[in-house]
């Protein structure tokens, strides 16, 4: 039965590439090539790291964890990259939940993620980096256990997030699982790196909580083995296995529930009609197309799991960067973390702003209003969301550093970053639109073009942000706070001009390409 799912996945991939033409094939090739490159780089990292550091097992699991974070984060941020992901597609077939779960898990391993893992672990194993019979026995087994935990968690989260479970509680729970496991895995990676020199039972006291996350528990087992503490290692392994069993059980339950739809009705009732906005504010904001779009987007941000997942994914990235760059937060430049936070909010949503509208995009087209009003409404939403995030990050940075000198410069630079990414994102949203969840990312409608346009958009946004970031950084380093503030203000003017130009361009494009957009965003 599992083999059938694998064949299905290959067949769907081949068909969608066949229908999508050259661009689709190119997009898919790019994804696979990326997996190969990252897999080789990951394997190389294992080799390099183990040459210089003690504890090769821990290094291996660190890289392995970093690779596997993708198994959790990618489905949350870009659900349905995998066409066989949606359990509801199989709801009319006489397949038992156990067979279905196994089939979907196996199909999940087939793809760029699986290739990446095999290459990473394989290259490390091929170089014989794990000395001794214990290493040869434990590393593959624990790595497999770790892989299984992360894959089953990814599947669990995406099953929860599927439309089959549409209650707010289920979606919230799914996202909470993603956040806990994702951050746990990232922290586990960092901890594993730091643990290479540890003795005794492997984990320092302040890191013990990481072992509560099943993937972190595998890392702790490695650390204990490295330290020669077999008793604690067995305990951690037992906990990891128990976690894996629990996750598998939850996945099975989620599968069964996803095939028997949530009851229609009261669970989705919204009390009042204000959503995120008070009714008075609602009345003010709702006059005119742009403001109507803004009010709609604010409601969607609260209710739509795909949009929230993008938002949560962006903030998770910011949190990870914050952890990695913790030492930077002690310096007076800490308020500049607001720029990273702003980027985290906007970078995941800007390139494909119509994606969440998907098949509903036609409503904008049949209305006599300019379709670009929808884009402006979306932009206004992200300004409203990013502003408090940036202010909070800047103030938090200043409090941590005990230095408020660069707060103004950081906020201005954040505004500039927002405008550049949003402006370029408006253009890519028209050129490379695809529906979320993107069932047919490589299909006949958006094709691989959507992926390539998104990647190009990210690159262009990065390049166009460059002058702002470099100027402000140089001004801060060599001129001080006043120079940095002036540079950031200049950057804001530059970004505003850039935004105006790109926005006009996007407005013309959305009018010209509205038929392409209807096709590209059609989920069928």
List residues binding other proteins (CB under 8 A): 163, 166, 264-273, 275, 283, 286-289, 291-293, 295-296, 299-300, 303-304, 357-360, 362-370, 373, 515, 518, 523-524
Looking at the Cβ atoms of 125 and 373, the one nearer to other proteins is 373
Distance of closest approach, residue 384 Cβ to other proteins, in angstroms: 18
- CB nearer to other proteins: pick between 267 and 392: 267
What DSSP character marks residue 370? -
Tell the smallest beta-carbon distance from residue 90 to other proteins (Å).
21
Other beta carbons within 10 angstroms of residue 399's beta carbon come to 12
With respect to other proteins, which residue has the nearer C-beta, 329 or 513? 513
Compute the distance between CA of residue 18 and CA of residue 6 in angstroms, rounded to an integer.
Answer: 18
Nearest-5° angle of CA 469, CA 474, CA 478? 155
Q: What span, in angstroms and rounded, lies between the C-alpha atoms of 430 and 306? A: 19
Which is closer to other proteins, CB of 167 or CB of 392?
A: 167
> Cα separation of 55 and 195, whole Å?
8
Query: Are 218 and 247 a contacting pair, CB within 8 Å?
Result: no
CB-nearer residue toward other proteins: 50 or 282: 282
Residue where the block lists tokens 């629990």: 246
For residue 54, the minimal CB distance to other proteins (Å) is 52
CA distance 183 to 487: 35
CB of 363 to other proteins, least distance (A): 7
Least spacing, CB of residue 359 vs other proteins, in Å = 3
Q: Kindly give the residue spans of alpha helices, DSSP state H, lying in 479-513.
A: 481-512
d(CA 236, CA 44): 28
- Nearest distance from C-beta of residue 369 to other proteins, angstroms: 6
- Cβ 265 to other proteins, closest distance in Å? 6
Please tell me what DSSP assigns to residue 263: P
Nearest Cα residue to 49 out of 143, 124, 138: 124
d(CA 516, CA 243): 46
Distances (CA, A) of 145 to 2, 142, 151, 153, 405: 19, 5, 10, 12, 49
By beta-carbon proximity to other proteins, the closer residue of 140 and 278 is 278
* Nearest to 148, CA basis, from 101, 192, 195, 91: 101
**CA dist., res. 349 & res. 309, Å (int):** 10
Task: Name the residue nearer to other proteins (CB basis): 91 or 370.
Answer: 370
d(CA 461, CA 453): 12
Longest dimension (CA), the chain: 73
Q: Toward other proteins, which CB reaches closer, 226 or 297?
A: 297
> Rounded to the nearest whole angstrom, what is the least distance from the CB of residue 280 to other proteins in the complex?
12
Q: How many CB atoms lie within 10 A of CB 1?
A: 12
CB of 159 to other proteins, least distance (A): 17
Task: Using the minimum distance from each CB to other proteins, give the nearer residue, 196 or 353.
Answer: 353
Q: Is the separation of the CB atoms in 371 and 364 below 8 Å?
A: yes
- Complex with other proteins: residue 179 or 358, whichever CB lies closer: 358
CA–centroid distance for 474 within its chain? 31
Of 483 and 513, CB closest to other proteins: 513
Smallest distance from other proteins to CB 259, Å: 18
- CB 358 → other proteins: shortest distance, Å? 7
Could you tell me if 350 and 263 are in contact, meaning their C-beta atoms sit under 8 angstroms apart?
no
| Residue 200 φ then ψ, to 5° | 60, -130
How far apart (Å, rounded) are the C-alpha atoms in residues 215 and 162?
A: 24
């Amino acid at each position: 039965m599992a083999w059938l799912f694998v064949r299905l996945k290959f067949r769907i991939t081949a068909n969608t590439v066949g229908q999508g033409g050259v661009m689709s094939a190119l997009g898919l090739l790019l994804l696979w090539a990326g997996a190969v490159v990252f897999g080789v780089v990951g394997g190389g990292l294992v080799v390099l790291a183990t040459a210089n550091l003690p504890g090769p097992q821990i290094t291996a699991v660190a890289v392995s964890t970093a690779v596997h974070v993708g198994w959790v984060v990618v489905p949350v941020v870009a659900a349905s990259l995998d066409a066989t992901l949606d359990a509801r597609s199989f709801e009319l077939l006489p397949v038992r939940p156990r067979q279905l779960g196994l089939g979907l898990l196996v199909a999940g391993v087939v793809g760029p993620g699986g290739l990446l893992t095999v290459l990473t672990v394989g290259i490390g194993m091929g170089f014989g980096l794990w000395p001794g019979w214990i290493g040869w026995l434990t590393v593959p087994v624990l790595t497999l256990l770790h892989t299984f935990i992360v894959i089953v968690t990814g599947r669990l989260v995406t099953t929860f997030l599927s439309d089959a479970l549409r209650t707010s509680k289920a979606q919230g729970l799914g996202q909470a699982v993603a956040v806990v496991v994702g951050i746990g895995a990232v922290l586990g990676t960092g901890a594993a790196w730091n643990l290479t020199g540890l003795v005794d039972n492997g984990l320092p006291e302040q890191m013990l909580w990481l072992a509560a996350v099943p993937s972190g528990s595998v890392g702790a087992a490695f650390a204990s083995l490295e330290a020669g503490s077999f008793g604690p290692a067995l305990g951690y392994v037992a906990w990891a296995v128990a976690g894996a069993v629990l996750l598998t059980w939850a996945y099975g339950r989620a599968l069964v529930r996803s095939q028997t739809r949530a009851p229609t009705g009261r669970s989705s009732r919204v009390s009042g009609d204000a959503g995120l906005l008070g009714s008075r504010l609602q009345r003010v904001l709702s006059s005119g197309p742009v403001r109507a779009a803004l009010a709609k987007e604010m409601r969607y941000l609260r209710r739509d799991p795909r949009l929230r997942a993008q938002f949560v994914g962006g903030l998770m990235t910011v949190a990870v960067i914050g952890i990695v760059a913790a030492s930077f937060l002690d310096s007076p430049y800490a308020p500049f973390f607001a720029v990273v936070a702003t980027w985290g909010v906007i970078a995941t949503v800007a390139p494909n702003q119509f994606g969440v509208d998907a098949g509903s995009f036609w409503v904008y087209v049949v209305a006599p209003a300019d379709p670009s009003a929808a884009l402006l409404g979306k932009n206004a939403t992200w300004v409203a969301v990013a502003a408090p995030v940036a202010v909070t990050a800047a103030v938090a940075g200043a409090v941590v550093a005990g230095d408020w000198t660069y707060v103004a410069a950081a906020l201005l630079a954040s505004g500039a970053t927002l405008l550049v990414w949003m402006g370029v994102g408006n253009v890519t949203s028209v050129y490379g639109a695809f529906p979320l969840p993107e069932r047919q990312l490589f299909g006949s409608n958006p094709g691989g073009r959507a992926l390539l346009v998104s990647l190009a958009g990210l690159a262009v946004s990065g390049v166009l942000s460059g002058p702002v970031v470099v100027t402000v950084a140089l001004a801060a380093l060599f001129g001080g706070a006043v120079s940095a503030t002036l540079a950031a203000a200049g950057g804001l003017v530059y970004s505003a001009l850039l935004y105006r130009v790109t926005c006009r361009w996007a407005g013309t494009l959305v009018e010209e390409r509205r038929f392409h957009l209807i096709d590209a965003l059609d989920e069928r």
